[in-house]
């Protein structure tokens, strides 16, 4: 499965492992702004005792410039997710790229599924996290690999229709080590506490009624977006 080191993909990994699935984690260094998430993915793999590989596509970040996630010249927006402010965090075609690599790796290894952690809260901002993208991409994988897919091959996105708070609640029940996961777009020593994904993370813990062990650099009144 695709492992970003974030809360969503980590919870998917723990959920699959709890179901007796042999989980392998694949991360991609696509030249993103920081490597904190990749370090977290390695630690999560170690915690699960899972195979983990980081694919080196560092040069891709230069080609995907213009996003706050790949381009140091673009400011990371603070506050709540909105179509206007968070547009700067879109990396063109990212999930299609990551899923293509994961699908190819899985098929070559004879694995019967690829999983990723998109959730309902991503739909407004990120078109490659929407159900219609997932359905059409799954069809493309089946068509493009007809005759070579393991029996019952699936593309899994178990959180595609649930909220971030739902994921936090599920993660708590699964015993996910929240402190090993990374969400912040800025990649400093600790979570900044003010960027869109930090705000979303903080609010998800609050709504779920789960204690948040994350260390944030900035205090924030949850719900203020400031």
Given phi > 0 = left and psi -120 to 50 = alpha, else beta, which region is 115?
Answer: beta
* Contact predicate 12/119, CB 8 Å: no
Q: Where are the alpha helices (DSSP H) in 19-59?
A: 36-48
pLDDT tens digit at each of 226 positions of the chain: 999 999 999 999 999 999 999 999 999 999 999 999 999 999 999 999 999 999 999 999 999 999 999 999 999 999 887 767 788 999 999 999 999 999 999 999 999 999 999 999 887 789 999 999 999 999 999 999 999 999 999 999 999 999 999 999 999 999 999 999 999 999 999 999 999 999 999 999 999 999 999 999 987 544 444 3
pLDDT (0 to 100) of residue 220: 57
pLDDT (0 to 100) of residue 124: 76
What is the helix (H) or strand (E) element at residue 120, kind and residue range? Answer: none
- Which DSSP letter does residue 44 get? H
C-alpha–C-alpha distance, residues 115 and 97, integer Å:
14
3-class DSSP state of 215: coil
For residue 221, with 0-12 CB atoms within 10 Å meaning exposed, 13-18 middle and 19 or more buried, which class applies?
exposed
pLDDT (0 to 100) of residue 136: 97
C-alpha–C-alpha distance, residues 55 and 208, integer Å:
34
3-class DSSP state of 131: helix
Q: What is the pTM of this model?
A: 0.93
Q: Residue 201 has which token pair?
A: 């993370």
C-alpha–C-alpha distance, residues 41 and 181, integer Å:
8
- Which DSSP letter does residue 67 get? S
pLDDT (0 to 100) of residue 89: 93
pLDDT (0 to 100) of residue 123: 72
């Amino acid at each position: 499965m695709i492992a970003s080191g974030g809360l969503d993909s980590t919870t998917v990994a723990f959920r699959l492992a709890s179901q007796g699935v042999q989980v392998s984690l694949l991360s991609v260094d696509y030249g993103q702004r920081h490597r904190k998430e990749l370090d977290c993915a390695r630690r999560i793999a170690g915690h699960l005792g899972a195979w983990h590989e980081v694919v080196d596509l560092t040069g891709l970040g230069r080609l995907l410039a213009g996003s706050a996630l790949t381009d140091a010249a673009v400011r990371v927006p603070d506050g709540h997710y909105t179509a206007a402010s968070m547009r700067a965090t879109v990396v063109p075609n990212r999930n299609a790229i990551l899923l293509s690599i994961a699908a190819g790796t899985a098929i070559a290894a004879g694995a019967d599924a690829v999983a990723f952690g998109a959730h309902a809260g991503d739909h407004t901002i990120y078109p490659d996290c929407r159900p219609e993208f997932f359905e059409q991409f799954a069809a493309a994988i089946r068509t493009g690999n007809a005759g070579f897919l393991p029996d019952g091959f699936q593309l899994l996105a178990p959180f595609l229709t649930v909220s971030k708070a739902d994921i936090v609640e599920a993660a708590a029940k699964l015993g996910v080590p929240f402190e090993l996961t990374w969400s912040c777009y800025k990649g400093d020593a600790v979570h900044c506490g003010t960027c869109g994904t930090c705000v979303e993370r903080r609010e998800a813990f609050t709504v779920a009624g789960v204690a948040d062990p994350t260390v944030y650099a900035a205090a924030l009144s949850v719900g203020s977006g400031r």
